[in-house]
Structure 1
Amino acid sequence: MATTVKLAPPEEDMVLRLCALDVPWVVVPPIQRVLLFDDAGGQLPPFPFLVGSLRASLTATLARFPPLAGRVVFLPSTGDAAIDCSASYSGGGGVRFVVAEMDDADARKLAADADHDVDAFRAFTPELQTDALPAEVLAVRVTRLKGGVAVGVAVHHAVADGRSLWRFLEAWAGACRGDDAVLVAAPPTFDLPDVALPAGGEELVRSTLRKYAPHLPLVLASIFHHYFLPYMS
């Protein structure tokens, strides 16, 4: 079952153009992470309650991380790539929230195995379609396992790196625990500082984007997918 976690529309349009350091990552596969929770002590709440808590706390956390509820888009009028989380974006926004069950997967065994079952872990992460723009930024999958729960996330690499994703997960975990300090702390800033670029810096960003993804809004025809992705499968 999949639903979409949405935010209240922002008061103003919110479009964040990617900078020269971001645009190469438009063509890179998403970051995926899985958190396993073993219910050996019977301390996890009932699965429906857990899903409700995760969904509600995700909504609260996304209010502090609005780009994660947006879409990576291509702006043909300027040749830019951007994160669009504005109310005017016709494709909507939000985070896809998938709930699933895999009773044949044992949480304790998966966590304890010295050699992790990569295929099993991959099944716990949601698919994030990034082969064309607009593309989702974040998706979540909560899976009930035998003796536990798996929470998998996938995030677009042009929007967040591994450290940024963990900061979001820590904030989400705090909100789920009811840690008010997380929600009243100073929110992250999304105002990119001026990056010292030579004259014509905006065109440098666009030319870099064209180099890595020459056929936008299609991403599959990018340099990365042509030369590198076959060696990663």
Structure 2
Amino acid sequence: MVSQSVPHVVSRCTVFPSHKSSLGDLKLSVSDLPMLSCHYIQKGCLFACSPALPLSEILAVLKSGLSMALSRFPPLAGRLVTDSDGYVYVSCDDGGVDFLHADGSHFRVRDLPEAVEGFFAFDGMVSYQGHFRPILAVQVTELADGVFVGCSVNHAVADGTSFWNFFNTFAELSRGVKRISRVPDFSRDSVLISPVVLKLPDGGPKVTFSADSPVREKIFRFTRESVLKLKSKVNNQKWEIDGGVEAAELMGKFSNDTLKFPDGKLPWLRTAVAEISSFQSLSALLWRGITRARKLPPSKKTTFRMAVNCRHRLEPKLDPLYFGNAIQSIPTYASAGEILSHDLRWCAEQLNKTVAAHGNETVRKMVEEWERDPRCFPLGNFDGAMITMGSSPRFPMYDNDFGWGRPVAVRSGRANKFDGKISAFPGREAGGSVDLEVVLAPETMAGLESDPEFMQYVSAY
């Protein structure tokens, strides 16, 4: 039987950028500042077969790759600084990052639990602490038959898009790539850069949820076929299609093709309707399942929050690889009675309307609202009826090869987890498969696991 004890740290050192930074201080934006009360992001990749190199050489390769990656991402090697006027900056001062080697050799890849513990540094650290501690820590944990590479990144400095761009670059440089494929953009000239000061309490803000409340965590897997089946059901698909294109295939193509045909008049369709996306379909399925499992009274208002990327929503658009936070959390509301008395499509339509309405004007309106009442983001489930969706199945989590192949799994640490927190990952098999990391109160999780509507789309491990 595999021991469930956590890995222990064997060594720790500081890694510095390979080249000195010429990047000046970067002011935190209205999307960065609210994250000062959040834990560091903790995400990592699990690799199955250790490479032929001895572990000492593996660690040397990773340290070298990390040093080169930091020279491309100077903010990650810096520290937070608050000036005399109260503005918070990332000082790109080459202060270095923590690099840890941990022994988890009592674990085997196939036995690694979904809720990993001890595989990430800075556990429980709030992002404000970036004033005194590194912005980034990398922990490499050796397993009996593999390696886990875990990164902890200050959430006031980076969002998911920025995190995975760094992780991908770290992998590229570690395996010997000379020219990185995705160059980050460090500009600070958008509406997100505000003259408003966020006033913080002495000692900095704390997380806004109880990290000690009992919860269960589970990853629910949805194959490409299962996602397409759900999406077809939600969209009441009755289309007549030319050329023998399968309906399920079409559903997977529609969102990309609307970029080429923005009026929605696709050439192979005789009839077209507004599409509800795969992700919105999955979110609606989850919203209904969790609401049922919570056994809420019909009049209880529920909230489904989704983190949306604002880079392409703003006008003028931000660079797709803009480094920092460029996200907003948008809520959709409905009573428990409405959710359970209507069908799945109705729930998905509510989410679809919220996302569709979140364009340039709405993004700017939320910036103005924050400026009138600057505060840290209130993360948590405050009324027992909230769901918060984070991360994205579009992030390139499996596009990481440090020199010994693609990851076999993606895992997260204990950061920012509470009843109702959901994180979406791409499935390893790609092609539209999705993994949902779900954190719920134990009794709610038991109810979701026995929910027929939800579980019919879930695939076995």
Q: TM-score, normalised by structure 2?
A: 0.41
Report the 3-state secondary structure (helix = DSSP H, G, I; strand = E; otherwise coil) of the residue aligned with 1:98: strand
1:86-117, CA deviations, whole angstroms, 9 ceiling, x for partnerless residues? Answer: 36xxxxx111000111121112322xxxxx43
- The partner residue of 1:218 within 198, 204, 208 is 204
Which residue pairs with 2:138 in the alignment?
140
Say if 1:194 and 1:34 are closer, same or farther in 2 by CA, change over 3 A: closer
Residue 51 of structure 1: which of 47, 50, 59 is its match? 59
Alignment counterpart, residue 27 of structure 1, candidates 17, 37, 44: 37
Percent of pairs with identical residues: 30
TM-score of the aligned structures, taking structure 1 as reference length: 0.77
Q: Assess if the C-alpha contact under 8 Å between 1:106 and 1:147 holds in 2.
A: yes
Cα shift at 1:229: 6.0
Greater RCO structure (CA 8 Å; 6+ sep): 1
2:175 to 174, 177, 181: 177
CA distance in 2, matches of 1:51, 1:175: 14
Q: Confirm whether residue 81 of structure 1 aligns to residue 81 of structure 2.
A: no
Quote the residue 1:126 is aligned against.
121
Unaligned 5+ runs, structure 2: 1-10, 211-377, 383-416, 419-461
User: Who is 1:161 aligned against?
Assistant: 159
Paired residue for 1:65? 73
For 1:102, the equivalent position in structure 2 comes to: 104
Q: Could you tell me which amino acid in structure 1 is paired with residue 172 of structure 2?
A: G
- Matched residues in 1 for 2:118 and 2:87: separation? 34
Q: Can you list the C-alpha shifts for 1:125-176, whole angstroms capped at 9, x where unaligned?
A: 1116335433421100001111111111100111111121111111111111
**1:10 is aligned to 2:16:** no
Q: In the superposition, relative to structure 1, how do residues 228 and 60 fare at CA in structure 2: closer, same or farther (>3 Å)?
A: closer
Q: Secondary structure at the match of 1:52?
A: helix
CA RMSD, 1 decimal = 2.5
Distance across 1 between alignment mates of 2:163 and 2:105: 28
Structure (1 or 2) with the larger CA radius of gyration: 2
**Counterpart Cα distance in 2 of 1:123 and 1:100:** 9
Rounded to whole Å, the distance in 2 between the matches of 1:196 and 1:177 is 36
Contact 1:74 1:134 in 2 (8 A): no
* SS of residue paired to 2:107: strand
How far apart are 1:9 and its partner, in Å? Answer: 4.0
CA shift, 1:217, in A, is: 4.3
- 1:146 is paired with a residue whose SS is coil
1:190 lines up with 2:191 in the alignment: no
1:165 alignment partner AA: F
Kindly provide the amino acid, as one letter, of the partner of residue 100 in structure 1.
A
Work out the CA distance in 1 between the residues paired with 2:20 and 2:179. Answer: 25
Mapped to 1, the partners of 2:104 and 2:163 lie a distance apart of 25
Does structure 2 retain, via aligned residues, the 8 Å contact 1:37–1:149? yes
What are the ranges of 5 or more consecutive residues in structure 1 without an aligned counterpart? Answer: 88-92, 111-115
How many residue pairs match? The answer is 203
